[in-house]
Amino acid sequence: MEVPLNPIGREEIHRLESILLFATLFRPEVIELIKDPAERLTWVDSLAVAAGALAREKAGMTVREIAEELGRTEQTIRKHLKGETKAGQLVRETYELIKQGKLDELVRNVEVLAKGGQLVAMEEYEKLKKEKEELENKVRELEERIKALEEENHQLKAKLENIRKALDDALERIKEVEKLL
């Protein structure tokens, strides 16, 4: 799934907003900042507003429209967008990292979570991927073997039919010889 860096429409705005929020939250320096339970709620709220503001700005909305939609003052929105707040700075940095492709794995993880999936560690993913490839190869081998056995079965049926004909001919000759005797 592509990250809509310049979203068009509500769905893309919300997707960019979610990716910005989660990708920022999972940055190591932010995890350190939100370890303090007293600060966590404030940080998460500020990051959510900053992510929402930046996503909407990238969609071409005005500061007034963003402020109305997010239920914040225009001054708050401006501060986040200009990077005058720590949350605004972090979200903008995250946007730039995503733009440069430096957070691709994190973005994929966020997308998996957004779709209701569970994250799998890269080692586990690679192991499962290899196992899947091995199973697919086994399936192909078995399909080829089935095809070969079906061909062999067809040939054996043809031989059996020839033997039946030969036996029928032999029985017919035996009956003719018996009549003659």
Which phi and psi angles does 60 have, rounded to 5°?
Answer: 95, 10
Question: Does residue 121 register a pLDDT over 60?
Answer: no
Tell me the mean pLDDT in the region 152-178.
Answer: 94
Going by pLDDT thresholds of 50, 70 and 90, the confidence category of residue 113 is low
Question: For position 36, what pLDDT does the model report?
Answer: 78
- The half-sphere exposure of 30 on its side-chain side, counting CA atoms within 13 A, is 24
Helix axes 74-82, 63-70, angle to 10 degrees: 110
Question: Does residue 11 register a pLDDT over 60?
Answer: yes
Q: How high is the mean pLDDT of the chain?
A: 87
pLDDT tens, position by position, 31-52 = 888 887 877 788 889 999 999 9
Question: Does residue 124 register a pLDDT over 80?
Answer: no
